[in-house]
């Protein structure tokens, strides 16, 4: 459990001053902050106002993905809009039906905004503000009208769960205004101009705190992309998709000098003993050492040059200098246009070459990882080519 919480704690501690949580706690807004660079795109901060209104404790929220606030009648089309905004790393504002801890559904205005690194232009966090929508409509419960002049609230931070156009088409075709059992969901629950203004004010206030708390660490953030993403920096939604792949692997950018590592899976970090920041940006062959067979290394380099996959067994070194025999499979990964975007290197320790509980051989498991990476990369490039303009909000 402690190892799972470490990256959550580090998400804020590494970039902001030590009092960032205290400063955020003083804000009266209802909001969450999520980190798309951690596997599962978890919530790393939840405001006291949000916790009070949703009925969840901080321990139940922090570390979880925002899907815990969704329910059977959460509008799937609207959820897809949020996923697309995450994919495109842009702001979005929507109305959404979400659920309290006790299961009751409520309407809220959700406004999400990315937080960018001023240094390299990458997305470091997403802010999700939830503004209650006051309703004067009535709900129908088993045919009986009941007064419903309540405050609605919730949160709908949900990671990008599918990047495929098939999924997008399926979701957009759904009838998203159907009624849940026993409760009639009104279609005309719209946010007022005052509620929209409250959401915008909350975003600005939260960004002001984060910006101020980043100055003392020298890792400054901003609400708008202040610079182009650094070369080799992968999109945050691709980071999310790759995070679901459980095998040990790295993603390598062949278009940059020395072919640096631009993504490392959690399993790779566990296998090698390195922290993520110690891996990203390193040469692709940094695990090699004095006793690594240079002829095998040359074989891998040749396969990269001719853009063909290869599998070798090579002696590698962990961070603590201990050695292990690595069954390495290297394969090119092409984008939707057929051009090579990355190379993926899938590692498996030699002593783990037996079949797993499902009866799958090491080779099949490695090819499965390669296939999953290819789907994530191709789906992202398809989505990017079909994306709308990243400026402004939808459905205002």
pLDDT for 29-73, tens place per residue? 999 999 988 888 899 999 999 999 899 999 999 999 888 898 998
Position 170 scores a pLDDT of 43
Q: Helix or strand or coil: residue 112?
A: strand
What value does the mean pLDDT take over residues 298-307? Answer: 92
pLDDT confidence of residue 357: 53
- Model confidence at 387, pLDDT cuts 50, 70, 90, reads very low
Helical segments of the chain, H only: 2-13, 20-25, 48-54, 58-61, 76-88, 165-172, 193-215, 236-242, 266-272, 276-279, 294-305, 362-385
What is the structure's pLDDT at 60? 94
pLDDT of residue 360: 67
In the structure, what pLDDT confidence band is assigned to residue 394 with cuts at 50, 70 and 90?
very low
pLDDT at position 201 over 80:
yes
Domain 2-222 homologous superfamily, CATH: PAS domain (3.30.450.20)
Is residue 305 over pLDDT 60? yes
pLDDT at 140 over 50: no
Contacts of 338 (CB under 8 A, 6+ apart): none
Residue 297 neighbours by CB under 8 Å, 6+ apart: 285, 288, 314
pLDDT of 241 strictly over 80: yes
The tens digit of pLDDT for each residue in 161-178 reads: 444 444 443 444 443 333
- What pLDDT band is residue 1 in, cutting at 50, 70 and 90? very low
SS3 state of residue 20: helix
pLDDT digits (tens, 9 = 90+) for 97-135: 889 999 999 899 999 999 998 877 888 999 999 998 886
Q: Tell me the two tokens of residue 133.
A: 């929508």
Q: Is the model's pLDDT at 138 over the cut of 90?
A: no
Residue 156 has a pLDDT of 37
- How far apart, in Å, are the Cα atoms of 209 and each of 11, 25, 52, 129, 258? 16, 11, 21, 14, 38
Whole-number pLDDT of residue 136: 52
pLDDT at 228: 55
The pLDDT tens digits of the residues spanning 177-199 come to 334 343 445 454 788 999 999 99
Residue 352 pLDDT: 55
- Per the CB < 8 A criterion, the answer to whether 221 and 116 are in contact is yes
Considering the chain, what percentage of its residues have pLDDT values greater than 90? 44
Where exactly are the structural domains of the chain?
Answer: 2-222, 245-385
pLDDT at 135: 66
Amino acid 8: pLDDT: 87
For residues 380 and 84, give the distance between their C-alpha atoms in angstroms, rounded to a whole number: 10
Top-confidence range, 255-264, 292-301, 384-393: 292-301
Homologous superfamily (CATH) for 245-385: PAS domain (3.30.450.20)
- The yes-or-no answer to whether 2-222 and 245-385 have a common fold is yes
Contact 195, 131 (CB under 8 A): yes
Q: What percent of the chain has pLDDT over 70?
A: 76
Enter the tokens of residue 341.
């975007």
Please tell me the distance from the alpha carbon of residue 65 to that of residue 82, in angstroms, as a whole number. 14
Question: What residues contact residue 206 under an 8 Å CB cut-off, 6+ apart?
Answer: 24, 27, 29, 31, 33, 127, 129
* pLDDT tens figures, 339-365: 898 999 999 987 655 545 555 677 888
Sign of CA dihedral 262, 265, 266, 270: negative
Report the C-alpha gap between 46 and 58 in whole angstroms: 7
């Amino acid at each position: 459990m402690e190892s799972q919480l470490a990256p959550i704690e580090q998400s804020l501690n590494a970039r902001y001053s030590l009092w960032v949580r205290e400063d955020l706690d003083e804000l009266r807004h209802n909001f969450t902050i999520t980190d798309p660079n951690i596997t599962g795109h978890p919530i790393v901060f939840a405001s006291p106002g949000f916790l009070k209104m949703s009925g969840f404790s901080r321990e139940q929220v922090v570390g979880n993905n925002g899907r815990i606030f969704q329910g059977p009648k959460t509008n799937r089309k609207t959820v897809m809009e949020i996923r697309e905004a995450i994919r495109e790393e842009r702001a979005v504002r929507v109305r959404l039906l979400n659920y309290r801890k006790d299961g009751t559904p409520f309407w809220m205005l959700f406004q999400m905004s990315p937080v960018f690194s001023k240094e390299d232009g990458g997305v470091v966090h997403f802010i999700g503000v939830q503004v209650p929508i006051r309703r004067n409509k009535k709900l129908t419960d088993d045919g009986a009208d009941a007064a419903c002049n309540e405050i609605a609230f919730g949160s709908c931070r949900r990671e990008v769960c599918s990047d495929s156009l098939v999924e997008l088409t399926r979701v957009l075709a759904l009838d998203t205004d159907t009624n849940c059992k026993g409760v009639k969901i009104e279609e005309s629950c719209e946010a007022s101009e005052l509620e929209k203004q409250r959401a915008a004010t909350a975003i600005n206030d939260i960004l002001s705190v984060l910006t101020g708390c980043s100055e003392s660490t020298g890792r400054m953030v901003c609400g708008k992309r202040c610079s182009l993403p650094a070369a080799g920096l992968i999109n945050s939604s691709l980071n999310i998709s790759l995070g679901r792949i459980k095998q040990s692997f790295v993603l390598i950018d062949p278009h940059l000098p020395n072919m640096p590592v631009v993504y490392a899976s959690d399993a790779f970090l566990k296998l090698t003993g390195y922290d993520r920041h110690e891996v990203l940006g390193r040469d692709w062959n940094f695990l090699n050492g004095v006793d690594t067979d240079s002829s095998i290394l040359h074989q891998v380099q040749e396969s990269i040059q001719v853009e063909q996959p290869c599998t070798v067994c090579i002696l590698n070194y962990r961070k603590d200098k201990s050695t292990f025999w690595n069954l390495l499979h290297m394969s090119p990964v092409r984008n939707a246009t057929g051009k090579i975007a990355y190379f993926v290197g899938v590692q498996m320790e030699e002593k783990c070459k037996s079949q797993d509980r499902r009866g799958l051989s090491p080779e099949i498991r490695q090819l499965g990882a390669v296939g999953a990476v290819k789907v994530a990369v191709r789906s992202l490039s398809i989505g990017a080519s079909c994306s709308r303009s990243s400026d402004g909000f939808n459905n205002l």
